[in-house]
């Protein structure tokens, strides 16, 4: 296994068959060629540790031959087989806990390190945009399926200043609410985004949207409370979106319709942005877009771990199982 076995054509064939995460990144030949150029062919003997559980993952691996044992938080999730793209979602989520990866057999794999992955994404916003849409759809579907889950973030940085509009710095701090999509974004990059959000007051009884309407805007509740109601069997049922939480974000980012009714319980204020304008802003600030993508991926991971536990779904999240890949010539 010391000699190189895969030609560039072989790598392209493998990449062309791999679902680059549930986000379904486009696989145009030009993009595949860029990825293929940066994926190193690696041979690992049985028993070799590719990554240690509890440490940030440095690379993802497209398995060509052999199996890799995958663990998380000290528990074995399963063994990834040829065709699996192991660790991509962990890299995208910018997760700090990482995965334990051990060669269960002799392994031949294509390795892509984290810096190169983000460099490829940073150079092609269309990849990031499609990844955000796909990842949002996946999280949206999970949110509607898992009891008790909601489309929101956790925690509030500070309270709305009484009796006046917020200045740009205060808007920026609200956007960086802990647990939200922009918590890790740089101040400078997020400042350009903050000035574009509208501060919109609302009264009790105001209808933000109804089920089935197109999701065209995202909103962050600054003050007040919004009651959300989904039809029986279509989601969590009834929940409340309060200050510091996002309203309608997932379906807007996913390009889908609203799946519940949202009506104001009290008077209040939201920060609002059109989703098309947000996409334009993301294109100008790709690092912020990658932060948003990472948040969607982390939220999905946390929801699976927290509600479904370390089972098959979490394993598939980390291994991105596609169909059977073509076999290389030796």
pLDDT in tens, 64-119: 899 999 999 999 999 999 888 899 999 999 999 999 999 999 999 989 899 988 98
pLDDT in tens, 199-239: 999 999 999 999 999 999 999 999 999 999 988 766 668 88
Number of neighbours of residue 54 by Cβ within 10 angstroms: 14
Averaged pLDDT of the chain: 83
pLDDT in tens, 63-79: 989 999 999 999 999 99
On the question of a common fold for 8-123+309-319 and 149-284, the answer reads yes
- pLDDT for position 105: 97
Sheet of 238-242, strand order: 207-209, 261-264, 225-229, 238-242
154 has a pLDDT exceeding 50:
no
State what percent of residues in the chain have pLDDT above 70: 79
304 has a pLDDT exceeding 90:
yes
Q: Which residue has the higher pLDDT, 154 or 133?
A: 133
pLDDT in tens, 238-262: 889 998 889 999 999 999 999 999 9
Per-residue confidence band for 179, with pLDDT thresholds at 50, 70 and 90? confident
Pairing status of strand 198-202 against strand 49-51: unpaired
159 has a pLDDT exceeding 80:
no
Per-residue confidence band for 13, with pLDDT thresholds at 50, 70 and 90? low
* Entry pTM: 0.84
- pLDDT for position 231: 81
Where do the structural domains in the chain lie, given as residue ranges? Answer: 8-123+309-319, 149-284
- pLDDT for position 192: 85
In this structure, are residues 121 and 112 in contact, taking their beta carbons and an 8 Å threshold? Answer: no
CATH match for 8-123+309-319 among 3.40.50.150, 2.60.120.10, 1.10.1660.10, 3.40.1160.10: 2.60.120.10
Query: How far apart are alpha carbons 301 and 58 in whole angstroms?
Result: 18
CA proximity to 111, closest of 149, 159, 160, 61: 61
- pLDDT for position 178: 83
Question: How many angstroms separate the Cα of 165 from the Cα of each of 198, 219, 222, 243, 244?
Answer: 10, 16, 11, 15, 16
- pLDDT for position 329: 43
CATH match for 149-284 among 2.60.120.10, 3.40.630.30, 1.25.40.420, 1.10.357.10: 2.60.120.10
What would the two tokens of residue 277 be?
């304008």
Q: How many Cα atoms within 13 Å fall on the side-chain side of residue 240?
A: 8
Phi, psi values for residue 227, rounded to 5°: -90, 130
Q: Which of 44-53, 124-133, 138-147, 158-167 has the lowest mean pLDDT?
A: 158-167
- pLDDT for position 153: 44
276 has a pLDDT exceeding 50:
yes
How is 190-239 classified by DSSP, letter by letter?
HHHHHTT-EEEEE-TT-EEE-TTSB--EEEEEEESEEEEE--TTSSS-EE
What is the DSSP secondary structure assignment for residue 164, as one 8-state letter? S
């Amino acid at each position: 296994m010391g000699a190189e076995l895969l030609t560039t054509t072989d790598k392209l064939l493998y990449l062309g068959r791999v679902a680059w995460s549930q986000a379904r990144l486009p696989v145009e030949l030009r993009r595949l060629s860029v990825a293929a150029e940066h994926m190193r062919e690696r041979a690992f003997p049985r028993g070799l540790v590719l990554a240690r559980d509890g440490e940030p993952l440095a690379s993802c691996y497209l398995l060509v031959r052999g199996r890799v044992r995958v663990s998380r938080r000290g528990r074995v999730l399963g063994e990834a087989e040829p065709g699996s793209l192991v660790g991509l979602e962990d890299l995208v989520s910018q997760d700090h806990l990482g995965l334990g990866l051990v060669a269960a057999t002799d392994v031949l794999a294509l390795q892509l390190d984290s810096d190169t992955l983000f460099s490829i994404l940073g150079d092609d916003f269309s990849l990031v945009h499609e990844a955000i849409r796909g990842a949002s759809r996946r999280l949206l579907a999970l949110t509607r399926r898992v009891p008790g889950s909601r489309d929101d973030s956790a925690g509030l940085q500070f309270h709305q200043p009484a009796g006046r509009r917020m200045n740009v710095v205060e808007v920026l701090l609200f956007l960086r609410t802990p647990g939200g999509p922009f918590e890790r974004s740089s101040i400078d990059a997020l400042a350009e985004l903050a000035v574009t959000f509208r501060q919109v007051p609302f009264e009790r009884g105001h209808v933000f949207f109804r089920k089935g309407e197109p999701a065209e805007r995202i909103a962050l509740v600054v003050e007040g409370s919004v009651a959300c109601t989904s039809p029986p069997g279509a989601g969590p049922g009834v929940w409340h979106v309060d200050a510091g939480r996002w309203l309608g974000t997932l379906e807007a980012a996913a390009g889908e319709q609203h799946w519940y009714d949202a009506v104001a319980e009290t008077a209040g204020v939201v920060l609002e942005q059109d989703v098309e304008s947000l996409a334009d802003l993301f294109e100008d600030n790709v690092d912020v877009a990658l932060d948003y993508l990472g948040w969607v991926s982390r939220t999905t991971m946390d929801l699976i771990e927290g509600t479904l536990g370390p089972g098959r779904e979490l394993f598939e999240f980390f291994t991105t199982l596609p169909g059977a890949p073509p076999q290389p010539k030796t």
